[in-house]
Amino acid sequence: MTQSARAQEPGTTVTLHPGDDGSGAVRRTVLPGGLRIITEAIPSTRSASFGIWAGVGSRDETPEDAGASHYLEHVLFKGTRRRSALEISAALDAVGGDLNAFTAKEYTCYYARVLDADLPIAVDVVSDMVAASLNRPEDVEAERNVILEEIHMRDDDPGDLIHDEFSTALFGDVPIGRPILGTVDSINALSRDRIHAYYRRHYVPSRLVVAAAGNVDHDAVVRLVTTAFAELPGVEGDLPAEPRIGGPAVPTAPTVRVVDKDTEQAHIVLGTAGLCRTDDRRFALGVLNAALGGGMSSRLFQEVREKRGLAYSVYSYTAQYADTGLFGVYAGCQPGKADEVLSICRDEVARVAETSLTEEELERGKGQLRGGMVLGLEDSGSRMSRIGKSELVYESLLPVDEVLAKIDAVTLDDVREVGRDVLTRPGALTVIGPFGDRDFTL
């Protein structure tokens, strides 16, 4: 375990992990205003990834602000007092770098990946975007149409839409249950002044984490970030972080949501509320998820696709949030096969909840989880994401070896316990397809 930033004096630097001869060393500096800077040194690479993580996402929105976090993500690319939208993109294109961003339920991230020698450019551009956005009325209006098109694109892709519908069915009409994109009505109602006020309220030092990984020097990154933020007006002072609004509404009875849509395939998600991100049982649930629906050897894939050929895509998945989570099973099949596929998925979930996994499935699930984690950390971008997200949403950063040890320590009893708890909770079923008002309750 590493110490929390809350216990660190502002203006100081600590080494969270010493690494091996400098490789993999993780260090954190907390600036006087509360801005946290965390880096991981990987001298063997020639790239550097830089990101700024804001502790605000769609879960922090009132109904009147629905979609504001994602809307703001778009607008921050449109220009600052130093750069136009073209100059922002051209600065990274000129060095062959990647510049992007994404919005989630509980955070937003702006990031760039460049050659190590070009890190100062990435720091300057991304910091400028995040801290000194103008949010001009004309830019807000231009992006409004882009976001409305993104919503329409999501609505035209039932494989994407089904997951938003499932969250709404599971959690209800609370912030965590609403779509990250917002709705057509909420996006049309958002004014420039409201978006700018949202920006000024949430993009403050205490809610920002700067992360860099690759062939980077921590002290150099701190100097670059300090210089970049010192000259920028967007995050003057430090305001207290606002509490999250509206907790999750976990169903007390099964909820069914059917979206009648003229599609070639039926799209199904069956699931329950899961575990929060700090629940120690998340490692056992991860192993269970891998064995149940995480790969070609999983129970769901074998029963639904390999043995019966009923679906091309079938899998299970988990998501963790601050105080809750979700567990879901997805399948896409011909509408006429929906009942059979749904019955098999329910049976397999119930069987795992009742009898757990076999020893062979346990070991295979653990191996899949270990390999997926380590192989997913092979580049500077994934390393930056790991340390940045961990610093923002966890109390401490677990070393990779400690995470692997926790996976290895999962037993059949652990899986049995978490399966009986999570998989028997009241849940939700969401179906998209040409079903009219058909009743899927049973």
The set of catalytic residues is: 73
Q: Token pair for residue 139? A: 């830019």
Residue with tokens 């649930």: 285
172 CB contacts (<8 Å, ≥6 apart)? 249, 251
Distance CA 359, CA 411 (A): 9
Q: Token pair for residue 376? A: 């997913």
Q: What is the total residue count of the chain?
A: 442
Q: Token pair for residue 213? A: 């990984």
Whole-Å CA distances, 204 to 54, 240, 242, 404: 9, 9, 11, 35
Among 314, 256, 317, CA closest to 288: 317
- The CB density around residue 230, as the number of other CB atoms within 10 Å, is 9
CB 81 within 8 A of CB 132: yes
DSSP, residue by residue, 16-42:
EE-TBTTBT-EEEEE-TTS-EEEEEE-
Q: Which pairing describes strands 325-333 and 311-320: parallel, antiparallel, or unpaired?
A: antiparallel
CB 77 within 8 A of CB 135: no
Distance CA 286, CA 292 (A): 10
DSSP-derived 3-state class of residue 411: coil
Distance CA 164, CA 397 (A): 30
Distance CA 442, CA 432 (A): 17
